[in-house]
Structure formats: C-alpha cells, structure tokens
C-alpha cells in the first residue's frame, strides 16, 4: 500500500484488467478489515462509497496497472471547534 498525498493507494497489475481491479479492491478491503477492524461487508461498502478505482497505465500492454485510491481522512475525527 502506498501513501499518496492525502490518500492510500493499492494496486493490481497484470494482463487481465478486471482481475487487476479486483486485486486492488481486495487489498484495500483486507487492509480495512485488518487495520481498521471493519467487517468484510463494511469494508467493501466503504470502498464503494469512498474509494476511487482508476486505470493508471496501459503503456506496457498487455499489462494493466489499476489502483484503488482511498482518502486518508475517512477515519479521522473532526475537530471539536468545527474548524
């Protein structure tokens, strides 16, 4: 998992675009279950609303690079001052 600016990013790479997308989402879901202690269902629901799935690279076809970008602030608490 890479920390990219204000986001975490997981990737899938290989010859099958759909399998790479699944791998990127699966890795993010596993992280949410393990590190954030969500259920698998909660993790995938959160990925569907907060995650951003992107095709990053097609230069080396037949290899595809797909990423799931996930904002780091999803689990941060808002300040009590409202600022």
Name the residue ranges covered by the structural domains of the chain: 2-73
Phi, psi angles (nearest 5°) of residue 49:
-100, -25
- Residues 6+ away with beta carbon under 8 Å from 83: none
Structure-model confidence comparison of residues 74 and 53, the more confident one: 53
- pTM for the full predicted model: 0.79
Mean pLDDT for the chain overall: 87
Structure-model confidence comparison of residues 3 and 15, the more confident one: 15
pLDDT digits (tens, 9 = 90+) for 32-42: 999 999 999 99
pLDDT at residue number 2: 56
What's the rounded mean pLDDT across residues 21-27? 96
Class of domain 2-73: alpha beta
């Amino acid at each position: 998992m890479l920390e990219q600016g204000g986001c975490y990013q997981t990737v899938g790479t290989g010859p099958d675009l759909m399998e790479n997308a699944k791998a990127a989402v699966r890795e993010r879901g596993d992280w949410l279950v393990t590190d954030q202690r969500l259920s698998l269902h909660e993790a995938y629901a959160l990925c569907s609303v907060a995650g951003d799935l992107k095709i990053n690279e097609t230069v080396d076809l037949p290899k595809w690079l797909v990423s799931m970008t996930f904002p780091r602030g999803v689990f941060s608490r808002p300040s009590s001052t409202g600022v």
